[in-house]
Amino acid sequence: MESLLLAYDGSEPSKKALKVAIDLAKKLNAKLYILYVVDVRAATEIFPDIAGEIGEKLLETAKELVNEAVEEAKKAGVEAEGLVEAGVPPEKIVEVAKKKDVSMIVIGAHGYGGIKRLLIGSVSDKVIRMSDRPVVVVKG
Ligand SMILES: Nc1ncnc2c1ncn2[C@@H]1O[C@H](COP(=O)(O)OP(=O)(O)OP(=O)(O)O)[C@@H](O)[C@H]1O
Ligand SMILES: [Mg+2]
């Protein structure tokens, strides 16, 4: 079965990307993987003493967010699976796309960082440059 990977951080732009990913998955009759990468590194550098606790909390929140997105996809009749991984977001997204052998990546143009820079955020920028798969960037 063909599959797609949605990079999802729970931000408004990534929710818009979720809608596009659901539409695409329906049209292609593809399975949808929904991936949230928890950047544990950032938290542990700032608060080394309570790094473990923060990591746990971040993973928990991530799982809830991903589950909500998976439910939305399933309600729309799409086969969906949530994935939560710890790591550096763009690298992990590219790695999972390869491992799951998806036919394309769907990603928002922006995330929580907002529309402060040029065209797109740093995560989508790096994914476009590093991935060997087609990348659908959802604007707005
Ligand atoms: N941790 C993450 N896990 C999965 N997908 C992510 C993650 N962070 C961002 N994304 C994906 O990348 C898209 C663009 O977000 P990005 O972080 O590049 O923009 P930004 O937050 O506006 O900018 P920056 O992070 O560079 O300040 C999001 O809509 C989402 O699809
Ligand atoms: Mg961001």
67-115: pLDDT as tens digits: 999 999 999 999 999 999 999 999 999 999 999 999 999 999 999 877 6
Residue 27 has pLDDT above 90, yes or no: yes
Closest ligand 1 atom to the C-alpha of 115?
22
pLDDT of residue 56: 83
- 8 A C-beta contact, residue 134 and residue 105: yes
CB neighbour burial string for 117-130, b if at least 16 within 10 angstroms, e if fewer: eeebbebbbbbbee
Segment of 41-45, 58-62, 106-110, 112-116 carrying the highest mean pLDDT:
106-110
Q: Report which secondary-structure segment, H or E, holds 124.
A: helix 122-130
pLDDT of residue 115: 65
Give the count of domains, the chain. 1
- Least distant ligand from the CA of 126: 1
CB neighbour burial string for 21-37, b if at least 16 within 10 angstroms, e if fewer: bbebbeeeebbbbbbbb
Residue 31 lies in domain: 3-138
Q: How far apart are CA 23 and CA 56, in angstroms?
A: 33
* Cβ of 121 below 6 Å from ligand 1: yes
Rounded to two decimals, the pTM is 0.94
CATH code of the domain in which 124 resides: 3.40.50.620
Tokens 């036919």 belong to 103
